[in-house]
Amino acid sequence: MTLGTWFCDVRPEQAPALIEWVRTGGGYDEHVSHVYEQERFVRKGRAPIGVKK
């Protein structure tokens, strides 16, 4: 189960499409950077790899 979704590279004019994605559950995956599932963040798509600190 996904508990959260983080997006990247979303411009203000894309907001209606993002809201529709949230409402219907599909069609905006190209902007998903991370999801939170099973008590951890999972990198998706073209999200940059983080630096361990």
Give the per-residue pLDDT at 12. 93
The single residue listed with the structure tokens 């004019």 is: 13
24 torsion bin: left (phi>0), alpha (psi -120 to 50), beta (else): alpha
pLDDT (0 to 100) of residue 15: 87
4 φ, ψ to 5°?
A: -165, 150
* pTM (predicted TM-score): 0.64
Confidence of residue 42 (pLDDT cuts 50, 70, 90): confident
Model pLDDT for residues 14-30, shown as the tens digit of each residue = 889 888 888 887 767 78
The pLDDT of 49-53, averaged and rounded, is 80
